[in-house]
Amino acid sequence: MIYNVGGDIYYQIGSGMNAALTINTDFAQTEVDNRQVNLTRFALFFPEKRNFFLDGANYFNFGINGDNRNRNGRNMIPYFSRRIGLDGDGNPIPIVAGLKIAGQAGDWNVGALNITDKTDSTYRNFSVARVTHNVGKQSYVGFLGTIGNAVSAESNWLTGLDVKLATSTFRGNKNLVFTGFGLKSNTEGLSGKDYSYGADISYPNDFLRFRLGHQAIGENYRAGIGFVPRLGIRNTYGEFFLGPRPNKYGIMQINTGSFVNFITNMSNTLLTRDVFLKIVEFEFLSGEKAEYALSNSYEFLDEDFEIFPKDSITVPAGTYNFWQQGIELSTAPWRNVWVAFEINWGGFFNGTASKIDVQSGLKIGVPFFVGLQYEQNNVHLPEGSFVTRVYRINADVYFNPDISLSNFIQYDNVTEEWGLQSRFRWILKPGNEIILVWNSLVLPEVNSDRFMMQENTVRLKVNYNIRF
């Protein structure tokens, strides 16, 4: 049995500025990640869920990263908090100590942190500084700097500048936003082509919205505490959508439009092209939605791509162009029983594929909630066929506003692992709480149909606030 004692100290520097000191940080109350099956050549994005990093996270956003409507906002994230205190598989790494400051002072917005974590072999230290200065009511100029490398052993730092020019009075009462940014990294053993830059202009309004953007990422650019799935590329994208509101037949809004995305290498050879056509989407006043869409994809593979290592299925190098179509239907999530259904089918590289995603929720009175989700990919290629499945179950009990029990179970047939988490939370009073967490990982036994408990942990966390 292992005992760890840690603590957090929060201090309000001013009316809009807060500091947090953490020692032997514990994230027992954090939800586990949803399992994802990766059928792409690049790393998948997992969102941050730890409260220490979520508090004040908006003060660390850079460039287009904080724009949730921008489909390309995750292609180049210079500071990604999941690089700290987690390994490449999302497993926790002990955080020894950390200090974070975030908030606003006048026209200045500040986000800064310094954190040390510990792997099996070494201590790692990371520093981040983010400062923006407001210009007018909605614009700013900003600076970002990071020191530390979570992705390799080489030393790394980067700096960047960004600017946002925004108005909500364009042509009377319309929104118009321009964002520009540039970054340079410095990594031990690499020189030249270590830059990233981009610009984005958007018109995010209700009836008409459009966007046009471009970004470039050098092949030697490294964000040691960031998330950058593709290097050595130029990315140009655009979107155009209409959203009339008929106010008839219970329809709140009808959306239609398209999104295009082009990715080339630095020699302007086309690597990826995505065209998404939202034929029609109905949003009803009751909360229900219905959508039909088409998509076209082009992929250039300069080498063989092992898409399903479990069965050694590989897509040969070459160029591929394929179409898919999809339907989405969902009932309003406020209902006692709600369902969301999505199906996509069509071509996939040199074969075909279909994907089904079904989610449902059941509220039994006030205290009980049960949620189910099933994802399936059915892929047929000349090199072989395979099916991936992911199951998720949520079962939550709310005894009263202060006492709850959350249970989460998931399984995928690629790793063949069962993951279980139960979290009991008792809020004694605001800031004081008791959290009991059970995590378990169940694996299949070799050459057997049985399963065995690979990992089983129980953690008790007591939060007690002392105000002074």
Task: Give the span between the Cα atoms of 89 and 108, in whole angstroms.
Answer: 36
226 and 242 Cβ atoms separated by less than 8 Å: no
The model's pLDDT over 344-370, given as tens digits with 9 standing for 90+, comes to 999 999 999 999 999 999 988 778 999
Q: Given pLDDT bands bounded at 50, 70 and 90, which one contains residue 10?
A: confident
Domain extents in the chain:
416-468
What would the mean pLDDT of 117-130 be, rounded to a whole number?
90
DSSP state of 60: G
Is the pLDDT at 414 greater than 80, yes or no?
yes
Task: Give the span between the Cα atoms of 182 and 274, in whole angstroms.
Answer: 25
332 and 286 Cβ atoms separated by less than 8 Å: yes
State how beta strands 95-105 and 108-118 pair: antiparallel
Looking at residue 466, its pLDDT comes to 72
Helices within 127-285 (DSSP H only): none
The model's pLDDT over 218-244, given as tens digits with 9 standing for 90+, comes to 999 999 999 999 999 999 999 999 999
The model's pLDDT over 323-336, given as tens digits with 9 standing for 90+, comes to 999 999 999 998 99
Is the pLDDT at 287 greater than 60, yes or no?
yes
The model's pLDDT over 426-462, given as tens digits with 9 standing for 90+, comes to 999 887 889 999 988 888 766 666 777 777 888 888 8
What would the mean pLDDT of 26-40 be, rounded to a whole number?
85
Looking at the DSSP assignment, which residues form a beta bridge with residue 222? none
The model's pLDDT over 391-406, given as tens digits with 9 standing for 90+, comes to 999 999 999 889 999 9
Picking from 6, 8, 14, 3, the residue whose alpha carbon sits closest to that of residue 53 is 8
Q: Is the pTM of this model over 0.85?
A: yes
The alpha carbon dihedral of 383, 230, 45, 205 has a sign of negative
What would the mean pLDDT of 178-191 be, rounded to a whole number?
94
Picking from 280, 292, 277, the residue whose alpha carbon sits closest to that of residue 244 is 280
DSSP state of 390: E
Looking at residue 4, its pLDDT comes to 66
Is the pLDDT at 1 greater than 60, yes or no?
no
Looking at residue 328, its pLDDT comes to 97
